[in-house]
Amino acid sequence: MDAVQELVDELGADVVRTSSEQREAYRYDWARDPEAALPVAVVLPRSTAHVQAVMRWATKHRVPVVPRGAGSGLSGGASAHEAALVLCLERMNEITVDPATRTLRAQAGALNKELKTAAAKHGLWYPPDPSSFEISTIGGNVATNAGGLCCVKYGVTVDYVLGLEAVLADGRVITLGGPRVKDVAGLPLLKLLVGSEGTLAVVTEVLCRLVPILAPPATLVATFAGLTDAADAVVRICSTTRPSMVEFMDNASINAVEDFQPMGLDRSAGALLLVQSDAAGESRELEIAAVRQACEEFGATEVFETDDPEEGALFVGARRAVFPALERLGAYMLEDVGVPVPRLPELVDRVARIATEQQLLITVVAHAGDGNTHPVIVYDGSDEDEKTRAGQAFTQIMELALSLDGTITGEHGVGRLKRPLLRQQLGDDVLELQHGMRKVWDPLGLLNPGAGY
């Protein structure tokens, strides 16, 4: 289209990609949304000024824009569609650290792992750690308010965002927040942008709060014969202690990891809990002892403890390897439902029933300490009947979470795949308010249409 050539003329062919091969590479995020289509172009900006130019062009020509980071999203939030332009910020990756204010300023395309590395050079730490931390961008983390393994104690992305630079749909740049702890001047628009999935503005820069780096944690691994035994132990652990990590793996995920990267995990275990404590001094020993007691009370078949950081890291690596390991089993649909921790035993039990009913393999891994679970529905993508049953199970699990006072998404975002269930969770009035806010920020509806709310 002539309009795309206009953008190429302004920004250059190195920034604006138009060949079929180049555009195909940005059709999907990790969710592999079946309705994703080839975008009209892909823009790889190097500066906020480039992003402004794109949004002004999009406003002029009424072209929808899909913001994108690394494409590691799991809900279809960065899926391209026909007639839309993909705006990928992966080249904008500069990072600066200010130790005096314990803050880090990063462009949206910087990887979570790069933030951690930059902070560590100054004895500081950026806590949010999604399983994709090695490949996901801070812009994408902000878009979905990403959590991770340690958020049970340290919180999620929004708890560490002090400021943002963002480009509005019409090309204007706004700055929200700053390097200060307290700020109640005006409405909290900063917090509104975190988790907005690229529907209100394009985040180009993030100012993050850092904390002092901690000593390596102690690690406890417990195995159980049954799913609900492990889930009951989680309820007890979280009611009496505050570990820095409480992760859950079921038998299928244990075996998938063992097939992927053998570690000697107990293949016969019905479930495994991975718990870490980074409490100071004697408090660490007391916390691990309390966790052991809870596990044994609920029938743990084996409990292993270690203070060795490398050994602990191996177990964490096994947990992070679950999704790559499951990819080898076939196509899959990944859930992100969250429930209050006391409802976790009922959730895992009823997910197992859904698996039996639909005659599917549904594994469950979870950030169990905060009730955020990731049931993974594995199916044969070439079998239409099996694909249909997988879709039914996907909906059933979200409806199950809602019936347990939960949410359809804890950290991956609504994207496009979970949108059909959003009204059921929020209700008409809340959804109407959200649509109204979206229209104020983006009157023409150009930013990520079809995603979110």
pLDDT at 100 over 90: yes
DSSP assigned state of 259: H
pLDDT band per the 50, 70, 90 thresholds, residue 1: low
Asked, colleague to colleague, whether 215-319 and 330-441 share their fold, the answer is yes
In angstroms, the Cα distances linking 444 to 78, 79, 168, 240 are: 19, 20, 12, 50
Secondary structure class of 306 (helix, strand, coil)? strand
pLDDT band per the 50, 70, 90 thresholds, residue 81: confident
Q: Is the CB of residue 438 less than 8 Å from the CB of residue 200? A: yes
Chain centroid to Cα 383, Å, comes to 29
Question: Which residues, at least 6 apart from 164, have a Cβ–Cβ distance to it below 8 Å?
Answer: 142, 175, 176, 177, 190, 193, 194, 203, 205, 206, 207
Report residue 248 as tokens: 């859950």
CATH architecture for segment(s) 95-212: 2-Layer Sandwich (3.30)
Segments of 340-391 assigned E as strands: 361-367, 372-379
Report residue 310 as tokens: 């490398």
Beta bridge pairs of residue 103: 98, 209
Q: What is the pLDDT of residue 209?
A: 98
Beta bridge pairs of residue 366: 248, 373
Q: Is the CB of residue 375 less than 8 Å from the CB of residue 397? A: yes
Full-model pTM: 0.95
Domain ranges of the chain: 2-88, 95-212, 215-319, 330-441
CATH of 330-441, one of 3.40.1160.10, 3.40.50.1860, 3.40.50.11310, 3.30.70.2740: 3.30.70.2740
Question: Which residues, at least 6 apart from 13, have a Cβ–Cβ distance to it below 8 Å?
Answer: none
**CATH class of the domain defined by 2-88:** alpha beta
pLDDT tens per residue across span 258-314: 999 999 999 999 999 999 999 999 999 999 999 999 999 999 999 999 999 999 999
Beta bridge pairs of residue 161: 208
Sheet of strand 161-167, all strands in order from the earlier edge strand to the far edge: 95-98, 103-107, 202-209, 161-167, 173-177
pLDDT tens per residue across span 369-396: 999 999 999 999 999 999 999 999 999 9
Question: For the chain, what percentages of helix, strand and coil (3-state, to nearest 5) are there?
Answer: 40, 20, 40
pLDDT tens per residue across span 147-167: 999 999 999 999 999 999 999
**CATH class of the domain defined by 215-319:** alpha beta
